[in-house]
Structure 1
Amino acid sequence: MSEVVKTDRRILRTKQAITTAFLELFAKKDFEQITINEIADRANVNRGTVYLHFSDKYELLDKCMESHIQELISLCQSQDTGPIQPGVIRDPKPFFDYVQEHYAFLSALFSNQRAFVFRDRLLHYIASSLTAKLERPDRAIDKEVNAQFMASAFIGVVEWWIRHQMPHSTKYMADQVHHLFSHSQGSPPADTRN
């Protein structure tokens, strides 16, 4: 039994080394210029080991994107406490903190032509989550359209923040997003100056 655990740990360490090597290269080089040999050299494994875990660099990129999306979804779900009332947005600071912590990968991703895949997956999750939870007494605005609008606006602000090298703190961005959403929902923004 302990042999299986050792093997699993070695496999996990190897996959983590490959992923880390890829992320380091991705932050420095254009994706199309990264080779499996470079990834293997940086991870201190042979080329065959990389192929044992990932079919190619595209699958490796997809797995990295999926991992970040799952982490962001997890952050969103940890704050999930029921329906969203008009004029209220949950605290987006943990989301911005995560983006700041993983800035190198995310900034490289948003400067790459494959960013649309990541953006679309994240947008789909946020919009679906909002649609399920949004409560709006104004029947003139369709719940699904409102959720798409809010999700697109949020992702757009996050993307702008990344592309401009995080010119403001995570707290400032969270406050700004909170004010924007509160204002767009028809209620005055809360005063967060204390």
Structure 2
Amino acid sequence: MNSDDPRAQRTRARLKAAVLELALQQELGTITMSALAKRAEVNRATVYLHYSDVDSLVTDAMEDTVAAVARAAALCPLDAPRGRAPGPLVELFEQVAANGQLYRRMLGPHGSARFGARMRERLTAELARRFADGRRPPGWEDVPVGMHAAYLAGALVGVIAHWVADGGSAEEAALAFWRLFRTGCQAAAG
């Protein structure tokens, strides 16, 4: 199958829309390939032609959202005061809030391990790129850039998963994460 074929692209777009619609209605583990085919108005063999399982489809469907979250995380200024979350961090949490039900399903106990891993990978890559460009908080010189980026990405995904499960405003969540992050930076700086 040629992924550049407009028909394949349209089919994939329909499948992505279908899985996101179903994920808003039910737990990921209960979504079947048959239900996806019916919702996307394709036959079941077509679903398997494009995706091996629901997890790979849902991860692909959320890719643009994950990329936006990763970009916002990488834009976060490191010198903002502890008492006010930086704008890009608030924007990141607002983007997650806009898709809160999906994130609850994706990162919840019956969610997608592949999605959580993909989110950490994208965040790690964006942060590592930023750190390699010299935009890294002081005091972490003795920690490899990739490991530092992975640590922050894991922490951010963990905070997002906790926050979407428990609720609260995007501003409050961004400020709480920022305070945790800033405290970690200050401890590293000695």
| Structure 2 length-normalised TM | 0.70
Helix, strand or coil: the match of 2:152?
Answer: helix
Q: Which amino acid aligns with 2:71?
A: S
- The answer for the alignment partner of 1:156 in structure 2 is 158
Higher Rg of the two aligned structures: 1
Identity of aligned residues (%): 23
Q: Which amino acid aligns with 2:25?
A: K
1:21-100 equivalence runs, <5 A: 21-77=18-74, 79=75, 84=78, 90=86, 91-100=88-97
Q: Deviations over 1:84-143 (max 9, x none)?
A: 46978853112111111112221111224554333333334434525534242476x635
Number of aligned residue pairs: 174
Range 155-164 or range 108-117, more displaced: 108-117
| Structure 1 length-normalised TM | 0.68
Q: Does 1:182 align with 2:143?
A: no
Q: Which amino acid aligns with 2:178?
A: H
Q: Which amino acid aligns with 2:14?
A: A
| Structure 1: distance between partners of 2:20 and 2:140 | 45
Helix, strand or coil: the match of 1:92?
Answer: helix
| Structure 2: distance between partners of 1:127 and 1:53 | 27
Quote the offset at 1:65 in angstroms: 4.5
Unaligned runs of 5+ in 1: 1-6, 188-194
CA RMSD of aligned residues (A): 3.3
| Structure 1: distance between partners of 2:43 and 2:49 | 10
**111 and 49 in structure 1: CA distance in 2 versus 1, 3 angstrom threshold:** same
Unaligned runs of 5+ in 2: none
**176 and 25 in structure 1: CA distance in 2 versus 1, 3 angstrom threshold:** same
1:110-189 equivalence runs, <5 A: 110-113=107-110, 115-128=112-125, 129-130=127-128, 131-132=131-132, 133-137=135-139, 142=143, 144=145, 146-164=148-166, 166=167, 168-186=168-186
| Structure 1: distance between partners of 2:182 and 2:92 | 18
**12 and 28 in structure 1: CA distance in 2 versus 1, 3 angstrom threshold:** same
Helix, strand or coil: the match of 1:136?
Answer: coil
**C-alpha contact 1:36 1:50 (8 A) present in aligned 2:** yes
Quote the offset at 1:43 in angstroms: 1.8
